[in-house]
Amino acid sequence: MTDLPGRRLLLVHAHPDDESINNGVTMARYAAEGAHVTLVTCTLGERGEVIPPGLAHLSGAALGGHRRGELADAMRALGVDDFRLLGGPGRFADSGMMGLSDNDDPGCLWQADIDAAATLLVDVIREVRPQVLVTYDPNGGYGHPDHIQAHRIAMRAVELAAEAGCPVAKVYWNRVPRSHLEDAFARLRDELPGLPFDKAAEVEDVPGVVDDALVTTEIRGDGTPYAAAKAAAMRAHATQITVAEPYFVLSNDLAQPLLTTEYYELVRGERGAGDGRESDLFAGVTATSEHGVAP
Ligand SMILES: CC(=O)N[C@H]1[C@@H](O[C@@H]2[C@H](O)[C@H](O)[C@@H](O)[C@H](O)[C@H]2O)O[C@H](CO)[C@@H](O)[C@@H]1O
Ligand SMILES: [Zn+2]
């Protein structure tokens, strides 16, 4: 694998928009630094709600196709050109929110066989040979069936890839430290009267919120072009997200902070040297002949 850029990052997400919300700064930074960034999205989000009234007619396959276009626009904003749908467009349907009858759709991600879906992701790992993989925690951040399955598929694919001689050196889960969110929500509540939003979400509504001690790594984007890139990528997902920096809402119209520092928990692999949190997902990834960072 000598023709690949040195550093290779793979992100596994459930729907178009999750990548920008969770990792927009991270993806933009590493793409700008010349790393190879690969996004795998598991569904097209065809069971999502639609915010703009002018697009309210979109549903099902039409919405899925439209969100595929939003994803391409978001990737352009982040400078990422390798973005794929797991198993190809429409292979796995959006499962809907937990508890809905949509979850019983035999073609939806929630009903997918984990090993079969993970094998599709192993094909990507064999091709790209990422040193680092990012996905959700076991609860998918907030309990959405597709997020939970994306976690299960990604973690199983890492196991299968290692057995096949394609180890992923470091695996991270998306996280947000509670204390940071509490400060950000305090500011949001103060500023809410001047915002184009009526209500604020709660700290516990934010996917992946955990005690600070669990957060091993932070990728800072404040004061960099990567923060603006993230906001532009989130705006590209206009059916799902309305941005009024430094805040945004989903279709539930509950305002939450648009985070320009992104946080992670290292769950597999060795932390980089030094005290405190890592500031680089590739910290400690040693150059090797096959999978490491090129010397
Ligand atoms: C961020 C995310 O994962 N969005 C999912 C989610 O969408 C939410 C859902 O429609 C909910 O009913 C709304 O209240 C909330 O505002 C939405 O963010 O679930 C959708 C259906 O599975 C999915 O398409 C969307 O990407
Ligand atoms: Zn999602």
Taking residues 84-98, report their average pLDDT: 98
Pocket test for ligand 1, best of 67, 147, 237, 251 (most atoms within 8 A of CB): 251
- Interacting residues of 191 by C-beta distance below 8 A, sequence separation 6+: 247
- The residue whose CA is least distant from atom 20 of ligand 1 is 48
Task: Give the distance (Å) from ligand 2 centre to CA of residue 28.
Answer: 19
Taking residues 276-286, report their average pLDDT: 94
Which residue from 62, 20, 88, 63 is spatially nearest to 258, judged by alpha carbons? 20
CB crowding 263-286: b at 16 or more within 10 Å, else e? bbbbbbbeebeeeebbeebbbbbe
Ligand 1 atom closest to Cα of residue 251: 16
Task: Give the distance (Å) from ligand 2 centre to CA of residue 21.
Answer: 9
Structural element, H or E, at residue 180: helix 178-191
- The residue whose CA is least distant from atom 17 of ligand 1 is 251
Question: Rounded mean pLDDT of the chain?
Answer: 95
Taking residues 160-174, report their average pLDDT: 98
Task: Give the distance (Å) from ligand 2 centre to CA of residue 155.
Answer: 17
The interface predicted TM-score (ipTM) is 0.99
Separation CA 57–CA 176 (nearest Å): 35
Predicted confidence (pLDDT) at residue 11 exceeds the cutoff of 50: yes
**171 or 288, greater pLDDT:** 171
Cβ < 6 A, ligand 1 pocket:
15, 17-18, 45, 47-49, 94, 96-97, 144, 240, 250-252
- Interacting residues of 76 by C-beta distance below 8 A, sequence separation 6+: 236
DSSP label at residue 176? E
Q: What is the pLDDT of residues 173-216, one digit of tens each?
A: 999 999 999 999 999 999 999 999 999 999 999 999 999 999 99
The whole-model pTM stands at 0.96
Torsion over CA of 149, 150, 155 and 159, rounded to 10 degrees?
Answer: 90
Q: What is the pLDDT of residues 45-64, one digit of tens each?
A: 999 999 999 999 999 999 99
Separation CA 89–CA 65 (nearest Å): 9
* Lowest mean per-residue pLDDT among 116-120, 272-276, 278-282: 272-276
Amino acid (1-letter code) at residue 227: A
- Interacting residues of 284 by C-beta distance below 8 A, sequence separation 6+: 170, 269, 270, 271, 272, 273
Q: What is the pLDDT of residues 108-134, one digit of tens each?
A: 999 999 999 999 999 999 999 999 999
Taking residues 267-292, report their average pLDDT: 84
Q: How confident is the model at residue 92 (pLDDT cuts 50, 70, 90)?
A: very high
